[in-house]
Structure 1
Amino acid sequence: MSTTNVSEAGLRLLALAEILSGYAATGATNGDLAEALKTSRPNVTRDMAVLIARGWARKSEETGRFYPATAFTRMCFRTTDDLNRMQTHVEDLRRSMTGR
């Protein structure tokens, strides 16, 4: 795949979403995310604003920690749901062709 038209900021944003998914229970501070992403805190602040606007992240008003939001986790589970549908389809085909 050519990386000619790939945005560094876009790649950083997607990496941030991936890192944030590991903090579903505890949440992450701006500093936690900056360290894990090896970027600056202002970059994390800007990127988190995008994820929050998209509905993929939320910020706790009480602690200031960031968490993945339900829209992000639902997106992840849609992949599992699709695979389960395909598995059911294959099992149905197998039963219809083999009688087992």
Structure 2
Amino acid sequence: MSKANVSSSGSRILRVLKALRGHALNGVSNGELASALGESPANINRALNTLIEEGLALKLENGRFAPGVQLLQIAMAHNNEMSRAQGRIDELNQRVLAGSH
């Protein structure tokens, strides 16, 4: 099977975005990202600039990079949706249990 026609720069940006996971408080350096992803620091810098422009990453005061507010809002919206769904499932389970007696 052949690989779909994808954007290499888009893939790089998404890999950088995923690599920011777990670095919200202290961030991660450009060099650490470059090393972890096997990319040049210049490529990482371009990807980070794109993510920063879109609010998906930010540069911390210490010069390191972290997930941006927009990314965290996406994560929170997903978490809230799953919590509401779990609440509905729990309510249905309670009704089923109450009717079984």
TM-score range, shorter chain: 0.7 to 0.9
Counterpart position of 2:9: 9
Comparing 76-85 and 40-49, the one that deviates more: 76-85
* Runs of 4+ displaced beyond 3 Å: none
Structure 1 residue runs of 5 or longer lacking an equivalent are none
Deviations 1:44-83 (A, max 9, x none): 11100110011011113x4321111121112112222211
Instruction: Give me the whole-angstrom Cα distance separating, in 1, the residues matched to 2:97 and 2:28.
Output: 51
Comparing 84-93 and 73-82, the one that deviates more: 73-82
Q: TM-score, normalised by structure 1?
A: 0.85
CA RMSD of aligned residues (A): 2.0
What's the CA shift for 1:29?
Answer: 1.4
Counterpart position of 1:47: 47
Q: State, as a whole percentage, how many aligned pairs show the same letter.
A: 34
Structure 2 residue runs of 5 or longer lacking an equivalent are none
Structure 1 residues 1-100: aligned runs within 5 Å: 3-60=3-60, 62-99=61-98
What secondary structure sits across from 1:99 in the alignment?
Answer: helix
For these two proteins, the number of residue pairs brought into alignment is 99
Which of the pair has more CA radius of gyration?
2
